[in-house]
Structure 1
Amino acid sequence: MSQTTDREDSVALPRRNRFGVLFAAVWMVFLGGPLIEGWNLRDELRGWTGILATVAFGALYLYTFATTQQRRRMTMTRPTIREAALALAALTALAAVMIVSVGPTGLAAAPYLAVTAVTLLPTVAGGILALVFAASVEIVSLSSGWGNYSGLSLGVCAAAFATWGIMSLISRNFAMLHEREEQEQRAIMEERTRMARDLHDILGHSLTVITIKAELANRLLDVDIERARNELDDLERLSRDALADVRSAVEGFRGISLPVEIARAREALRAAGIEDEVPSSTDMVPTRLRELFAWTIREGVTNVVRHSGATHCRITVDEKSASVVDDGQGAGSTSSGNGLIGLRERAGASGARVIITHPQPQGFALQVVEQETE
């Protein structure tokens, strides 16, 4: 799904960029005046010079516009000052050749220069340079005796202002697009983290119990074949349950049951030869805490069976807390384990906190307590 979306985006971006270039190309019609004047002077060198300069000016303007738009869309950045200066210098030089070759019609390049300045440069610098181009139109026209071109000067200012407004709108749209993409990426990473955490919790507990039962069944083969067969039946059932849990986790709608987890905990402890003390009822636990307490028991019992070397384990639940306490060596669980990290995240989301203590003279206690609300 994500690969398809990436391919679609990679196709859509150049397509939108082509539409932008096409829109800019439509406005190149105003360069028709210098081309027509150059054609009228085709018997002279300056006529062809004007035509070539106008064509080169239009091509460079479109290229600059297209690359700038694509860069903004992909990276949200403007060209560097050096790149902007080179582009503006080249366009200004071509505009000067147009004016010298075809006369006053070459002044039609001025609005494009102002638009390019606003597009490439920061707002203040682009605005100042646009005003410079507008003033240059007046200076060149008056000093050359071509008459009053104040209308064109106003056109230069209007084009620059309109471009600034459009660029601001485009920049905001690009910023929103990139923000949405970042949010989607964060959502993907959060989902991956959830999947990794849930799969760890599911497989860690289930495979631990399966391993213990497999060892027990192997030992019973030469002692009590009927009991060994029962253990193998349990192995099949546990593996099917684990597979169902993994499928549910992948589909994203898994929930676990507190009574079921207590029953599984009793079974796992007894299979490991650990004396169990578990509650007979969970009715007092409110609905909002039942899933969290189920995860607490699963994580706590998994660590007891795996690491503690305990002979006794006590599980307690009430309306505000759940705990798993063993009399082992107290070195099995750590505050940095993946399971405990996931349990802390769940507890925090439910307004609870994880408490780890080491009862004397030995043992390990994992407790999740609902925090008091003010």
Structure 2
Amino acid sequence: MTTEALPVNPWEKWGWAFASIWLVFLVFPITAAVESDVPLAGKVAALLCIAGFAVANVLGYSQRCSTWLALGVMLALALATLPVIGIGVISFTPYLAILSALELPSPAWKWAVALWAAFPVLSLMDIDGFPTFFFLMLWPIMVGGVMLRIFGEREELAHEARGEHALVAERERVARDVHDVLGHSLTALSVKAELAARLIDLDPDRAKQELESIQTTARQALAEVRATVGGLRAGNLEAELAAAPRVLADAGVTTQVVGAVADTDPRHRALLAWVLRESVTNVVRHARAGSVVIELGARGMSVTDDGAGCAGAEGNGLRGMRERVAGVGGTLSVTATTPGTRVEVGLP
């Protein structure tokens, strides 16, 4: 049986871009540093700390460094601006809170967000004339980050529940099919064996016929069991073609489909479904693509992305695709495009 790929959290791929957009609100500490009464060297140092804070914030979403490390660097740089901007340092807390909410593991993110959320309360004390409305501005931003995390976790739980339900349903289907196949076949084999045993002395020729029939029935039952169990691994091309755009869309990838299931050879649709599923999984996991084109035809299928291209040793998934395609006399080629990768299946 195949299970639907887990939905990809868009923050895993595009979090750095969203984080870059929200850096515009660093205008508050930048303005506070520029308008402070400290010497020019202090202002420059504060501005450099703010720039470093921005870089660490973006890297915290890019998966290129540890979230804990990014938070530590951000906190240190924010505190370094304290002698220059004073109470204005709390304008950094939304960045710390949202990064914690979206990237830290459970339950650490809850404690971290609660800590950062406590700091804006200082604005209610009207220290150094710091505007009290800042409390009303920062808290909704932090709450928004928390809601994104909660909704994401709920979506993952729902997806897991759907997957478990599908797994149980598939197991029940296979159990029913195997029971029906074996029940019928074993009953027939038992009856024929008893008949052959009675005829072995009375009518040897008829007994021989019954024994030959037992062999035929046994081979047929074995083939039916294999076909039934094969349903666990065989794919449905129509279902995979419908699921692929949804899985890719969750990863921020657009999909274009050229052709239809009806254009393909019915003998090879299960194989094409398996190749399509593996190809989509590879795009989601490795390609960092923006778009994918799926082409279907009488002689096979191709999946082309505009991602980072193919590099490194051939993995188990690709090797498995090549072996399966070769098993039916076809060919599988993986070629670099500009940009991206093209996986093409040619079938007899």
- The TM-score range, normalised by the shorter chain, is 0.3 to 0.5
Identify the structure with bigger relative contact order (alpha carbons < 8 Å, sequence gap 6+).
2
The normalised TM-score by structure 1 is 0.44
Taking structure 2 as the reference length, what is the TM-score of the superposition? Answer: 0.46
Structure showing greater radius of gyration is 1
